[in-house]
A and B are shown apart, each in its own frame.
Chain A
């Protein structure tokens, strides 16, 4: 019980502490010493939070669940750790501290650094709460808080563009969350409780009576939570909001926070039970939407010249891989989807951090300007290349494993049309992925004959930046090298708890 609560409330308290303690921007002569203290504090807080979360996962105290307090008579705020939650929590625990360390260097020249770290910690705590939530209403609570605590990260620079992007993010997320909330109300009426239970919580009588209505509810909830995961037609906020944030923040947004939408989808599926939804129009419509998103996201990324925007579109596309795997609704595809959660999480974090390092060091934002970048920052670009291979799905990286399972599951599913169409589109999109990620590698390492080698200078970023990138890249490969461990964990997530 206590590790869970600490992992949620410690970072929140720490974040609030930072916001209050450093409410005025650091300046003057003492700026450097003050900043050191701030970074030291933030670093400690991040590590301690991660430690609490890991302790919560390892001790297994949360398996039975506990009620913190009651919101209303029948709606408790309830925490329980199950294996899906464990998976997502692992991702958060690994990515957030590393991206945090990366920001120590990246945010060096920012004025309101402390505000960034404060909200960063808040978001960390809320994410932990989201992963450990044991019923739908608790989940919803943290889902809303996640939007609110991550919005300041998007708007950090305070420029008009950033503020508008933050607003767009807020409205899309809130609208989506409210759509989902109404689904929760209907569910509440037709379920015995909102606690996550294996195999669906719907009352049999309710299914018989309001079957059609419940399907609509399910669709609305999937769409509503899908907003966070950038699913078509509500994806527009993502390519606006992610690029304007500071690079480490966009890494966290893209690799972890949007996964909240995926986790939400899994929870919704869990509430309704896949047996209820399989073979209905909801499944068909959902698959169509995800496939459209997969293809459209890749295409838009392919056409996009700005590096971070390109990565954001790529996130749109890749998240729908996961959603597609969930929408197919069999075990193999689900394994693929969960595997891709990890794979995409590590890869996208690494890619955004690489992009951040490049922008930080050279100030270039467009892919076209980055010719010869591999000569200047070889290590960074190597990481970029390896991570890209992971996203494209070339063995032995993690992306390969997950896409393999996704395609296999789809083929086995026996759905009309989509059993073949699905893998075809996934494959096409993978080609496009190669098309939009690898040019940077190619032009970076092989700038061509007319490149001016004379002006070349070493620009490799400092250790604080390169080490997190390295670790995340290595992780993305490792999960591909040892797919058995991942797969067995995920199997556990699917079958038992």
Chain B
């Protein structure tokens, strides 16, 4: 078990990072910290994909010097997935940030619980 963890340290790190990001997104009350948690969580997954997609000693799948053996190259799909994922997470982050700005201009706080209590007080 311990050996496995050590051998796959990249995956282990990404899993730990994922947990850190997940808990931050879930438990932080500050919206900015939540968004940071979200980005940690997403990055952890990309780290995982990149780690799985890279094979030591191989190169990116661009044919150089007419080497056509698949053994020489890595699979390009994980890298493609990471790129797509980054696009998605960027747009989501942008949306979250814009929502945060909206809330901040209305309630002058970034604390979500504080905002909820203010809303309750408004009674609407």
A and B touch in the complex (CB under 8 A): no
> Chain A residues in contact with chain B, CB under 8 A?
none
